Amino acid sequence: MTTDSRMPKVSQRLNERSRLALERHAAEEAAVEQRLSTLDQSGPSALERLAEVAQSHSGQSHHCRRILLALYNGPEWPLELTRLRCLDRDLQRAAITVIEWSAYAAHELHESLDDGEALLQRFWNTESDKGGAR
């Protein structure tokens, strides 16, 4: 068998591999777009839920404030993942949704809240008054 007779088969296999890779890439991109769409739909209500709980005075409120502050200003308020364990399942899901949404959102999440800047500043002051480690 000569090299010339192998070339069409090699080219055919390479073309097939390229086609399959492009199809996989397109499918992955479609899945990402679908996930982003889902986050854009579920993110605002999850954020509202965390902000609502963060404004009360329970132990969960403290953890919700700290999660929101981590998303607002991570260098000053690092996210401690163990805080998720202190939340009930509903709030855990909301927090994870908001964390994931924040990674993709085209804007700062506090901009999605009514008077979000002032609200986060209030959370900042509350947590700073508690001597919160930053």
The owner of tokens 């090699």 is 10
Q: What is the pLDDT of residue 131?
A: 66
| Cα 61 from chain centre | 20
- List pLDDT tens digits, range 74-125: 999 999 999 999 999 999 999 999 999 999 888 899 999 999 999 999 999 9
Q: What is the pLDDT of residue 132?
A: 58
Identify which has the larger pLDDT, 1 or 83: 83
Q: 86: how many CB neighbours lie within 10 A of its CB?
A: 15
Could you tell me which residues come within 8 angstroms of residue 126 by beta carbon, excluding any fewer than 6 positions away? 65
The pair of three-digit structure tokens given for residue 114, joined into one six-digit string: 């009514």
The pair of three-digit structure tokens given for residue 10, joined into one six-digit string: 């090699």
Identify which has the larger pLDDT, 109 or 6: 109
Rounded CA separation 34/46 (Å)? 18
Q: What is the pLDDT of residue 133?
A: 52
> Domain ranges in the chain?
3-129
- State what percent of residues in the chain have pLDDT above 90: 61
Are 91 and 53 in contact by the 8 Å Cβ rule? The answer is: yes
* Number of residues in the chain: 134
Are 119 and 57 in contact by the 8 Å Cβ rule? The answer is: no
